[in-house]
Structure 1
Amino acid sequence: MKTKIIAVLSFIFLFNSLNAQEQVKDSLISNQESSIQEVVIEGKKPLIRTKIDGLVYNVQSDPESKSKNLLEMMRKMPYLSVDADENILFKGNTNFKILINGKETQLLTSNPKDFLKSMPVNTIQNIEIITNPSSKYDAEGVSGLINIITAKKMKDGYNASVNLSSKFPKQENNAGFSMNLQRNKFGISVYGGGYLKNSPEISYQNSQYTVSNNLFQNGSTSGKGNGGYFNVNASYEIDSLNLLNIQLGSNIANNTAKDHFNSGFFQQNNLKENINSISNSDGNGKGFEASFNYQMGFRNDKSQLLTLSYRFNSYDYGINSVTDFQNRLSNMSNTMNQNNDNQNNENTFQVDFVKNIKKVYLETGMKAILRKNSSQYTTVPESLLNSDEFSNQQNIYGAYVTTKFSFLEWNFQTGLRLESTVTNVNFTSTNTQVNQNYLNLIPNISVGKTWKEHHGINFGFSQRIKRPGINRLNPFVNQSNPYIQVSGNPYLKPVINNDLMANYSYNHRISLNLGLGYSFSNKIDLKVSTYNPTTNITNTTYENSSNVSRLGLDYNLNYPVTKKLTFGVNGNAAFFFIKGKINNIEVENNLFTYYVYLSASYQFENHWNASSNLELNSRMPAGLQSTTNAFTGSSFSFSKSILNNQMSFSASVNNPFNTFRKAVTETIGTDFYQNNYVRDYYRSFSFNITYKFGKLRDEIKSTRRKIENNDLAN
C-alpha cells in the first residue's frame, strides 16, 4: 500500500506545478496599475478594493467565509443578490457571466448553483465584480462579469483543501476539494466536487380565470439528483518568455422527479373535465472542456505579450418524461411520452496582443467562436404535432482594441469591439431554415478619479449584446400540463443593452460603495403568455416584443463597530419600466423593487465567530406580464477554527421562524389571470467542515489572456 501511495505522489510531483516566471506579465501589470490608481481600505486585510471597471471583494477578509458557502456569501457583495430559488442577480438581472481565474468554465454555465455551494470558500482569494467590462471581453453579459480568483502565492510544494457540507430537511450534501502542486517549472491546479440531493414532497397550486372558463390545479412534486465536476489546470514554463497552459474539465448531472396533480376545468361554472395525472421524468447531462494557451514574451520590449488560445467545449443533456392521465377527454391519449435530447459544442480560436506605448496601455485581439446546438424532440402519441430535429449553427467573429491611460489625474479605460454573427437554424422534418446575420460595433468607456487616498468616483458607459441561448431557442413544447404549455422560440433575435453608470466609494475604516445606473434595451426577449379560447390552452414562449429600462441605486456598507463586531448592509432600490405588445395590445409592467441584506458578525476569543443576517426582498418582475411575490429571510450561524486555522467547522439555521415559504407568481393577460404558487421548505439546518493543509509560496502560472466566451444568455 505504501509503495502505491509513493508511486502516485511521485507521479503527481513529476507532472507538477507551474513556476513564477510570469515576470513579463507582472511587470506589464505593475506598470499599468501605477497609472490606473485603485482605492484601498486601510488595514491588514482590506475587504473591498475599487477599480476603474468595478471592485474586488476579499473573501478571506470576511469572517463569515468560514461559515457560509460561496453562493450565500454573494448575498452580501456589492451589486449582487440571490433570489428565493438561489439564482444570482447582478444589479437585479440574471444575464451575466461567471469566470474562474479569468476563464470561462463549462460547469458554471450548466450548473452554477451546485458548483458554488460545494467549492471550498477558503480556496477563494477574491471575487472581482466587473460592472463595466472592457472591450477585451465578449460583448455578452448585460449586467457585467463575476470573476472568482482562486490562485495563491506559492513556490515548490503543495497545498490542498477539502470541504464537506450538509443541509436538511431539504437534503443537500456537497463535497469539494482543491489541490495545487508546484515543482520547478511545472505546476498543476486541480479542483472538483460533487453533490447529492433529495427533495421531499412539496405542494403547488395553479389557478386561471377567463371570462367564461376557470382552471384549478393542485399537486405535489418531489425529486432526487446527483452530480459532480472535475477540473485540472497544468502549466509549463519553457523559459522566461514562453509559457504553456492546458486545462481539462468534465461534469455530470442526473435528476429524477415525480409529480402528482389534479386539474379541474370549469365552463360557465360547470365542471367540464377533471384530470388526474402522474408524471415521472429523468434528466441527464454531461459536459467536457479542453483549452490550450500559449503565451510569448519579447526580450526587446518586456511590455509586449502575444497569446494564442484554443478551447473546445461540449455539453449534452436529455430529458425524458412519461405522464399518465386519468379522466381525460375521450379524443385524447391517456399516456404521453416526451423526449428532448440536446447536443451543444463549440470551438473557439483567439489571439491577443498587449503592449505599453509610453504611458498608454494597449490591448488588442481577434476571436472566432464556432458553435453548434442541436435538439431532437418527440411527443408520443401526438408526434405529428410536436416532433422535429432542431439545429442551430452560430459563428461569431470578433476583434477589439482597448486602452488605459491617465490624464490630468483622471484615469481612463476605453475601447471598441466589433462582432459579426452568422446564424443558421434548420428544422429537419419540415426543411425550414432561419438565417440571421448581423454586425455590431460595441463601445466602452470608464473614467475614474481618486483623491485623499480614500475617496473614489467612476463614470462609465457601455453597450452589451444579449444573444438567446439554446433554452430559449428550442421549440420543444412541454405538454405535461394539458392546459399550460411552455416552449422556446427559434426566431428570437439578439438584443442590445445600453448602460450608464456612476459609482462613489469611500474606503477607510468604513467601507461605503454607492452605484447609480440607468440601463435600457429595446425588443428584448421576455416571456409572453397567450390564452387560446378555442383550445383553452395557455401558451408561454419568448418574443422580441418588449422595451425594458431600469433606474437603480446599488449600495454596500461595512462598518467595524469594534475590533470584534462588524456590521454590514448590502442592497439596491430600482424602478423597472417594462412595455410591450401582445397580439397588438400594449402591455405595461412597471414596478419599484428593493433588496436589503443586513449582516452582523462578532469574533470571540479562541477563533469562535457568530453571525446573523436579515434579508428583505420586494416583488420582482418576471416578464412582460408576470411578477413574483415579496419575501423575507434570516439566518444565524457560528464557526470555530482549530489546528492553527487549518480546520474549521460551522453550523447554521436559515429562516428559523418559517417552516415553509409560499412562492407566488402572478400573470395578467389581456383576457386571463393566472396565479401559480409553490409551498416549499424554507427553514433549514446546515453543517460544514473544511480542512486545508500544505504550503506553497508562489502562484501557479497561468497565461494572462485566455478564452472567455461570455456571449450567451440562458
Structure 2
Amino acid sequence: MSLKLDCRNGLLPVLLFFLSPAVHSYAQDSTKAITNSYLNGVVVENEHQKPLEYATVSIYSLPDSLLIKGTITNRKGEFELADLAGSSYYYKIEYLGFESYSSKPILLKENEKLLLSDPLVLHADTQTITEVEVTGNRDFARIELDKTVYNVSKSPVSDGGTINEVLATIPKLNVTANGGIQLRGSSDVKILIDGKLSGLLGMSPGDVLSNMPAADVDRVEVITSPSAKYDASGSAGIVNIIMKKERVKGFNGNASATIGTVNKHSGRTALSLRTGKLNFSGSYSYQDNWSGRDYELSRLTETETNVEMLKVSADADLGNRSHIGQFGMDYLINDKNTMSCSVTNRNVKQNKNGFYKYSRTLITSSTFPNETSRESAVDIDLTSWVYNASYIRKFDRKGQELSFDAAYTNNNAENYGNYTDETEGNTSDFFNSDREEAIVQLDYKQPVGDAGSIETGYMYRTNEINFDEPIDLSTAFNYKESIHGLYFQLSGEKGNFGYQVGLRSEYSDIETNKAYNDDYLDFFPSVHFSYKLSDNKQVLLTYSKMIYRPDSGMLNPFQNLSDPENQKLGRKDLGAYYTHMPEFTFIYKRDKITYTTNLYYVYTDNIINQFRWVKDDVAIVTSENLGSKHYAGVDFNLETKFNKWWSINSYLSGIYQKFTPSGEAHFSTNDDFGFFGKLTSTMRIPKWFNFQTTLRYDSDMPVAQGSYDQSFQVDFAFGKRIMKGKASISLWIYDVLNNSKYNVNTSGDRFTQRMKYNFENRVANFTFRYYFGKKYNVLKSKTHGSGVQHSEKDI
C-alpha cells in the first residue's frame, strides 16, 4: 500500500496564490531593513578575571524590550551579535551561578561595528540554588491571546513522572485511569507535541505520553479556542506539549530508572551532541508495567414476560512492555536555514487477562440463578516506525519565516485472543491491523507594520487502516481518510488592543470497504480579541469552530469477543459534527495573586456519542449521531504566591450540560448541573526538597444515557536534587487515599445498568535520574570555587 499526495482538488495552486502576495510584499519591504551592524565583547568572572565560556548574551530592542537575538560566548569568553539594524538596544548577560548583567541603553548606527573596550564582569551569586530557583521562577500560568501557558518544568512531578502524570496537575485537564486526557471534562481533545500532530502519529496519545518522561517537558499550552492555524479536528480544544531544547554545545545527557508498586519498572537514557553545524540526539526508554482492574455490573432488563437481573464481576490484569528508541539530527546550514530529521521506533507488547463471572436471575421466578464463568487472554504486539523531516527558513526581516514539516508512520499490530467458556469450551480469534499515516505542512509568516503579522499555510493529512482476520475474510475492514487544509490569519496589537482573526478551510474525504463514503468542504473562522483595561486588568473575547469526524473505531463492525455480554460494534452511517465555542475571559493581577474568570459556551449539533441497548440479553454499544449538546460553564482560577517557597493554584468550574436526543434515539432529554475543581500546592523548601500536592474533585456528571458518579483524588510528589545538582530523586504517589472510583449509570429502552470500575489507582513510583556531559562538568568546576549548588533548571 502506498500513500500519495492528493492534489485533485486544486488546493496547491490556491496555496501558491496565498503565498505570492506575501513574498512580493517581502521583496518590496526587505530593502528597508538594513541589518549590517555588529556588537562584540568579552565576558569574564570577577574573582580571577578568567573568561566565561557558554555565557548567554541576549540583545533587546528599545523601548519595547523585544528579544532580537542571542548567542553564547566561546572559550575566550568572546561573543558577537551580527546582522543588527541601526537602532537603540540594551543587552543582557547570564551565566549559571553568577548574577545577571543588564547594560545601559546603547545606540547602534547603520554599518557600525561596536567593540566593547572593557570586559564585561559577572559576579558570583552568593545565594543558595534554592533561592536562585525561586527568584528566577516563571509564573506557573500565563494567559496569552489564544492560549494559557503552564510552566511545568519545575514541578516535582516533572522530574520523576510521565507526561500524563504532569498533565494531571494542570487545572483544566484531567487524566483518566486508562490514560485518556480530558479538557473541561471532554475527551474529544487534540494532543500536539511542539505544535505538530506528527509526534503522535499512528498511536493513541495516552499510550505514547504514558511512556514519555515529564522531565523532557518545558511547558504545556492549553488552547480552549483554537485559531485558524491549527487543524480543525476535535471538539474540546487543544493541548500542546512543548519539549525542552538542548542549547549547550558538547556532549550531554541523562539516565533514569524508575521502580513502582506492583511490578512497575522503567528506564530511560537521552544523549545529545551539539557541534554547532551538526547536532545529534538520541534516546531509548523501556517500560514494564502491570496493573490490575476489575468491575462489577448490575443490569435489569424487561422482557415481554419477565424481568431479568444480570450480575457480572470481572477481574483483569493488564501488562504493558515497551521499547522506544529515537534518533534525530539537526543541520544548521547557516544563520537562516535549518534542516532536521528524526526516526522513532516503538515496540509495544500488551497482555489483557480476565476472569468473568456471570449470574442471571429471573426476578419473578423462584428458580436459582444461572451461573457461568469465562476466561480470556488477549495479547497485542505492536511495531511502529515514525519518520519526521522539517526545514525552517528565516529571512532578514525579524519575524519573517517559512517552515516545512513532513511525517510518515507505519504501524503493524497483531491481536491474539484465547477464550475458555464453561458451555462453549475453548475458542480463539486473531486479527491483524496495518496503519499508514502521513502529514505534510507548509507555514509562512510575515510581519505587517510595527506590531502585526500575516500567517498562511497548507496541510495535507492521510490515514489508511486495514483490519484483516485470516480465518474469516468477510470481517476485513479498510478505512481511508484524506484531509486538505488551507488557512489565513492576521494578528497584531495597537495600543491596549490585541487581535487575531483567521479563516481555515478543510476538504475531507473518508471511505471504507463497507459502503461508507463521505466527502465535504468546510470553513472554520476564529476570532480572538484582547483589551488591557489597566496595567493589572485585561479582558479577552474569543470564538472558534471545530469538527469531529467519525474515525475507524466508530465505523468498524468487527466484534470484540473478550466479553460476550458486552459487545462494541461500529456503524457505517455516521456523519461528522461541528462545535461552536465562544468564550469570555477576565484577568486581574495583584502583587502575589492572579484571578482569572472564564465564561464559555459550547454548542454541538448531530453529536457522535456512544449509545447502548440490549438485544437477546446482550448489551451492544455503538457510536451514533444522537442529537445536540449544550455545555455552558464558568471557571474561576486563583494563583497565589504566599512567599518565595510556597504557591497554590486553585481551580473551580461550574457547568450545565444538556443532551437533546434525535428522533431515532430511544432516551429522553438529559440535563443537569455539575462542577469540578482542582487545587495544587507547590512547596520549594530551601536546602530540603520540593513537595507538591494535588487535590481533585468531580461531582456527578450527566451523559447522554445516564451519569457518572462523583470522585475525589489526592496525589503527592516529592523531588530533590542531590550530588551537587548532578542527580535527582523523586517520589510520586497517585491517589493516596485510594478512593477514586469510576462508576457509570446507564438507562435505555427497557433496561437500567450500573457499572463500578475499580482500577489500581493508588500507585507509587520512585525515580533516580543522573545528568552527565560537558555542561555538568563546567558546573562542577564552578561549584568547587564558589560553593554554590546549581541545578540544570537554571541553564
For the aligned pair, the TM-score class normalised by the smaller chain equals 0.7 to 0.9
Question: Residues of 2 paired with 1:652 and 1:292: CA distance?
Answer: 36
Residue in structure 1 matching 2:479, options 378, 392, 412: 392
Q: Secondary structure at the match of 1:137?
A: coil
Q: Deviations over 1:284-316 (max 9, x none)?
A: 2222111222233445x5554333332212223
Residue in structure 2 matching 1:446, options 528, 546, 554: 528
Question: Residues of 1 paired with 2:506 and 2:404: CA distance?
Answer: 19
Question: Residues of 2 paired with 1:167 and 1:545: CA distance?
Answer: 42
Return closer, same or farther for 1:493/1:177 CA change in 2, 3 Å cut-off: farther
Residue in structure 1 matching 2:319, options 200, 224, 234: 224
Would the aligned equivalents of 1:172 and 1:198 in 2 still touch at CA under 8 Å?
Answer: yes
* Residue matched to 1:80: 173
Q: Secondary structure at the match of 2:668?
A: strand
Q: Secondary structure at the match of 1:606?
A: coil
Question: Residues of 1 paired with 2:368 and 2:466: CA distance?
Answer: 42
Q: Secondary structure at the match of 2:402?
A: strand
Would the aligned equivalents of 1:48 and 1:511 in 2 still touch at CA under 8 Å?
Answer: no
Q: Deviations over 1:551-607 (max 9, x none)?
A: 122333221222233222134221121121474545223232322222333333314
Would the aligned equivalents of 2:446 and 2:453 in 1 still touch at CA under 8 Å?
Answer: yes
Mapping of residues 616-631 of structure 1, within 5 Å = 616-621=697-702, 623-631=703-711
* Residue matched to 1:8: none
Larger radius of gyration: 2
Question: Residues of 2 paired with 1:138 and 1:28: CA distance?
Answer: 30
1:307 aligns with 2:403: yes
Question: Residues of 1 paired with 2:586 and 2:430: CA distance?
Answer: 51
1:633 aligns with 2:708: no
* Residue matched to 1:322: 418
Return closer, same or farther for 1:256/1:475 CA change in 2, 3 Å cut-off: same
1:689 aligns with 2:754: no
Return closer, same or farther for 1:403/1:232 CA change in 2, 3 Å cut-off: farther
Question: Residues of 2 paired with 1:262 and 1:160: CA distance?
Answer: 50
Question: Residues of 2 paired with 1:128 and 1:254: CA distance?
Answer: 31
Q: Secondary structure at the match of 1:477?
A: coil
Mapping of residues 429-440 of structure 1, within 5 Å = 433-440=515-522
Deviation, 1:361, is 0.5
Deviation, 1:529, is 0.9
Would the aligned equivalents of 2:388 and 2:407 in 1 still touch at CA under 8 Å?
Answer: yes
Return closer, same or farther for 1:583/1:306 CA change in 2, 3 Å cut-off: closer
Return closer, same or farther for 1:580/1:174 CA change in 2, 3 Å cut-off: farther
Deviation, 1:136, is 1.5
Residue in structure 1 matching 2:600, options 512, 517, 523: 517
Aligned Cα root-mean-square deviation (Å): 3.1
| Structure with higher RCO (Cα < 8 A, 6+ apart) | 1
Question: Residues of 1 paired with 2:163 and 2:535: CA distance?
Answer: 30
* Residue matched to 2:388: 291
Mapping of residues 658-669 of structure 1, within 5 Å = 658=738, 662-669=741-748
Question: Residues of 1 paired with 2:628 and 2:774: CA distance?
Answer: 53
Residue in structure 2 matching 1:475, options 557, 565, 572: 557
Return closer, same or farther for 1:345/1:358 CA change in 2, 3 Å cut-off: same
Question: Residues of 2 paired with 1:62 and 1:277: CA distance?
Answer: 45
* Residue matched to 1:13: none
Q: Deviations over 1:506-533 (max 9, x none)?
A: 345223332221111111110001122x
Residue in structure 2 matching 1:173, options 265, 272, 275: 265
1:189 aligns with 2:281: yes
Return closer, same or farther for 1:307/1:114 CA change in 2, 3 Å cut-off: closer
Task: Tell me how many residue pairs correspond in the alignment.
Answer: 646
Would the aligned equivalents of 2:141 and 2:148 in 1 still touch at CA under 8 Å?
Answer: yes
Q: Secondary structure at the match of 1:110?
A: coil
Residue in structure 2 matching 1:609, options 662, 684, 690: 690
* Residue matched to 1:123: 216
Return closer, same or farther for 1:400/1:602 CA change in 2, 3 Å cut-off: closer
Deviation, 1:61, is 4.2
Deviation, 1:442, is 0.5
Return closer, same or farther for 1:514/1:78 CA change in 2, 3 Å cut-off: farther
Residue in structure 2 matching 1:214, options 285, 296, 309: 309
Q: Secondary structure at the match of 1:60?
A: coil
Mapping of residues 402-417 of structure 1, within 5 Å = 402-407=489-494, 409-417=496-504
Question: Residues of 1 paired with 2:680 and 2:57: CA distance?
Answer: 39
Question: Residues of 1 paired with 2:491 and 2:320: CA distance?
Answer: 47
Return closer, same or farther for 1:572/1:69 CA change in 2, 3 Å cut-off: farther
Mapping of residues 454-473 of structure 1, within 5 Å = 454-473=536-555
1:593 aligns with 2:593: no
Q: Secondary structure at the match of 1:154?
A: coil
Question: Residues of 2 paired with 1:627 and 1:67: CA distance?
Answer: 35
Question: Residues of 2 paired with 1:20 and 1:670: CA distance?
Answer: 69
Q: Secondary structure at the match of 1:578?
A: strand
Deviation, 1:196, is 0.8
Structure 2's unaligned 5+ residue stretches are 1-55, 61-65, 71-83, 86-133, 777-795
Question: Residues of 2 paired with 1:81 and 1:441: CA distance?
Answer: 30
* Residue matched to 1:527: 610
The percentage of counterpart residues that share the same residue type is: 22
Deviation, 1:652, is 4.2
Return closer, same or farther for 1:125/1:241 CA change in 2, 3 Å cut-off: same
Residue in structure 1 matching 2:723, options 620, 630, 643: 643
TM-score (norm 1): 0.83
Q: Secondary structure at the match of 1:122?
A: helix
Would the aligned equivalents of 2:201 and 2:409 in 1 still touch at CA under 8 Å?
Answer: no
1:274 aligns with 2:371: yes
Return closer, same or farther for 1:581/1:420 CA change in 2, 3 Å cut-off: same
Q: Deviations over 1:603-657 (max 9, x none)?
A: 3331423333322122234x52142221212234433211333322122444444
Structure 1's unaligned 5+ residue stretches are 1-18, 32-40, 328-332, 428-432, 698-714
Q: Secondary structure at the match of 1:475?
A: coil
* Residue matched to 2:88: none
Would the aligned equivalents of 2:732 and 2:766 in 1 still touch at CA under 8 Å?
Answer: yes
Q: Secondary structure at the match of 2:228?
A: coil
Deviation, 1:277, is 1.3
Question: Residues of 1 paired with 2:156 and 2:137: CA distance?
Answer: 14
**Structure 1 letter corresponding to 2:764:** F
* Residue matched to 1:569: 650
Question: Residues of 2 paired with 1:654 and 1:618: CA distance?
Answer: 20
Would the aligned equivalents of 2:192 and 2:200 in 1 still touch at CA under 8 Å?
Answer: no
Deviation, 1:84, is 4.1
**Structure 2 letter corresponding to 1:196:** D
Question: Residues of 2 paired with 1:28 and 1:132: CA distance?
Answer: 31
Return closer, same or farther for 1:492/1:163 CA change in 2, 3 Å cut-off: farther
Question: Residues of 2 paired with 1:656 and 1:353: CA distance?
Answer: 48
Moved more, 541-550 or 675-684: 675-684
Deviation, 1:363, is 0.9
* Residue matched to 1:242: 337
* Residue matched to 2:225: 132
Deviation, 1:139, is 0.6
**Structure 2 letter corresponding to 1:402:** Q
Return closer, same or farther for 1:258/1:83 CA change in 2, 3 Å cut-off: closer
Return closer, same or farther for 1:112/1:358 CA change in 2, 3 Å cut-off: same
